[in-house]
Amino acid sequence: MKKILITRKLLKTCEEKASKTFQATFNDNDELYSQSKVVEMSNGCDGILTSLTDKMDADTINKLPDSIKILSNFAVGFGNIDLDAAKKKGIVVTNTPDVLTDATAEIGILLILGACRRASEGIESAKESGWKWSADYLIGKQLTGARLGILGMGRIGQKIAKIAKSLGMIIHYHNRSKLSEEKEQGATYHDNLKDLLSVSDVLSICCPASKETIDMINKETIEYLPKGAVVTNVARGDIVEDEALIDALNRRKVYAVGLDVYKNEPNLNPGYLKHKSAFILPHLGSATKETRTAMANLAIDNIDEFFKTGKCKNKVN
């Protein structure tokens, strides 16, 4: 049986599956391992089931024992792993696509609704008994007829588009390439970011973090948005320059933000906390029982497939 280190506690049924499939080392107390602890604990192992909280940078990867052949990331994103360093060391990296599309798109829609309809302020007011209703009390932005700009029209972006369309939103998107008509579902393609942002009453960031997308939403690009736009991010915090977005909120260039992901999670920029118009969640995209189970099972299957066949369909490097 292959020996696998599982860096974070998984749901019970998934740990049971892992113990049937491998000789697995679990993290019963769900301790957040340091990079050196991961290196130390992986001694004698054939693979590691990592999570997005494990920073597998080049230095850490280079220190891993030569017996490690696979890093199976328990996430669709893999910005926490240096893919090139892994490749150089002959380590395969895999992710868990598809299974979290619906759950993440649900949070993407929640961010849009929460930001547009002033949910943060509403929750605070509801807690104070005796709020004063009036015809103009906590008036927000209606989604019907608003233009939704989707940055990154992959699986999650397409699902958000589908739900948003049913809410009456008009869908625009920017992607590296134009989708087929079947996948586009009537959405308008923009081949550059500037054009997309200039028609985005609401922006939904759905693209992966990569060298090309880091800080893509910055001081300069925010200016392309219409005044009073709403910015939401269900993908990765690295895509947004926080200071620029917070400044845009201060200047009311941006009306509200809906965020589930941040740079330096869980230490988000405190500037967001001061804003009544920031609807913020603690990285809940895939947080449903069904989805977390499917993700962990897929991360386990990825390792199993790799050791059985020498290949894995979810290899990303």
248 belongs to the binding site for ligand GLV (CB under 6 A): no
Task: Give SS3 for 44.
Answer: coil
Residues facing residue 148 across a β-bridge? 171, 202
The catalytic site residues sit at: 236, 265, 283
Residues of span 98-117 touching ligand GLV by CB under 6 A: 100
Supply the minimum distance, in Å, between the C-beta of residue 284 and ligand GLV.
Answer: 9
278 belongs to the binding site for ligand GLV (CB under 6 A): no
CA dihedral 212, 265, 204, 77 (to 10 degrees): 60
Stretch that binds ligand GLV, among 69-77, 113-121, 170-178, 210-218 (CB under 6 A): 69-77
- State which H helix or E strand residue 225 sits in: none
CB nearer to ligand GLV: give 140 or 237.
237
76 belongs to the binding site for ligand GLV (CB under 6 A): yes
Give the CA distances from residue 262 to residues 74, 105, 225, 283, in Å, rounded to whole numbers and listed in that order.
Answer: 18, 17, 21, 8
Residues of span 33-52 touching ligand GLV by CB under 6 A: 52
- State which H helix or E strand residue 35 sits in: helix 35-41
* Cβ density class 168-180: b for 16+ within 10 Å, e for less: ebbbbbbbeeebe
CB nearer to ligand GLV: give 141 or 155.
155
Residues facing residue 205 across a β-bridge? 151, 233
Look-up of token digits 């107390």 = 29
Supply the minimum distance, in Å, between the C-beta of residue 13 and ligand GLV.
Answer: 19
Supply the minimum distance, in Å, between the C-beta of residue 176 and ligand GLV.
Answer: 19
**Binding mask 279-298 vs ligand GLV (x if CB under 6 A, - otherwise)?**
------xx------------
157 belongs to the binding site for ligand GLV (CB under 6 A): no
Among 75, 248, 296, 316, binds ligand GLV (CB under 6 A): 75
The answer for 276, left when phi > 0, alpha when psi is -120 to 50, beta otherwise, is alpha
Q: Angle at CA 294, nearest 5°, toward 30 and 101?
A: 110
237 touches 283 (CB < 8 A) = no
CB nearer to ligand GLV: give 52 or 257.
52
Stretch that binds ligand GLV, among 71-79, 170-178, 184-192, 212-220 (CB under 6 A): 71-79
Interface positions with ligand GLV (CB under 6 A): 52, 75-77, 100, 285-286
